[in-house]
């Protein structure tokens, strides 16, 4: 016997899960902002936050460069295939 699914109940449950996830993310964001504010108040905290921001920026730059490596590897592989084809013709 096929089971029937109450779509209204399913949609309500999905909505509740989404709402709970948003609430959790909002609370974490608020806590993060409070923590950053407290760190800035500590002696040397501003310098530490600056170092963290610099690190974040450098990691972002590095990740962009690493993503570019895949395209370069594909181009090198294609060029190797072309060279091999030219060598086999001789």
Residues 67 and 31 in one domain: no
Q: Which residue has the higher pLDDT, 46 or 10?
A: 46
Report phi then psi at 78, rounded to 5: -65, -40
The whole-number pLDDT of residue 15 equals 73
Quote the CA–CA distance of 30 and 39 in Å, as a whole number: 14
**Distance (Å, rounded) from C-alpha 42 to C-alpha 71?**
45
The count of domains in the chain is: 2
Q: Which domain holds residue 5?
A: 1-41
Q: Say yes or no: 37 and 66 in one domain.
A: no
* Residue 59 shares a structural domain with residue 36: no
- pLDDT tens-digit profile of 9-38? 555 666 777 787 788 888 888 888 888 787
Check whether residue 3 and residue 23 sit in a common domain. Answer: yes
Residues 27 and 54 grouped into a single domain: no
Integer angstrom CA distances of residue 41 from 26, 51, 85, 86: 23, 15, 65, 66
Q: Measured between alpha carbons, how far is 65 from 77 in angstroms, rounded to an integer?
A: 19
């Amino acid at each position: 016997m096929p089971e029937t699914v109450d779509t209204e109940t399913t949609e309500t449950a999905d909505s509740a899960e989404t709402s709970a996830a948003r609430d959790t993310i909002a609370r974490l964001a608020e806590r993060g902002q409070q923590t950053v504010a407290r760190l800035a108040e500590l002696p040397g905290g501003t310098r530490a936050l600056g170092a963290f921001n610099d690190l974040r920026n450098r990691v972002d730059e590095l990740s962009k460069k690493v993503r570019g490596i895949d395209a370069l590897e594909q181009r090198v592989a294609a060029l190797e295939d072309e060279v091999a084809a030219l060598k086999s013709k001789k």
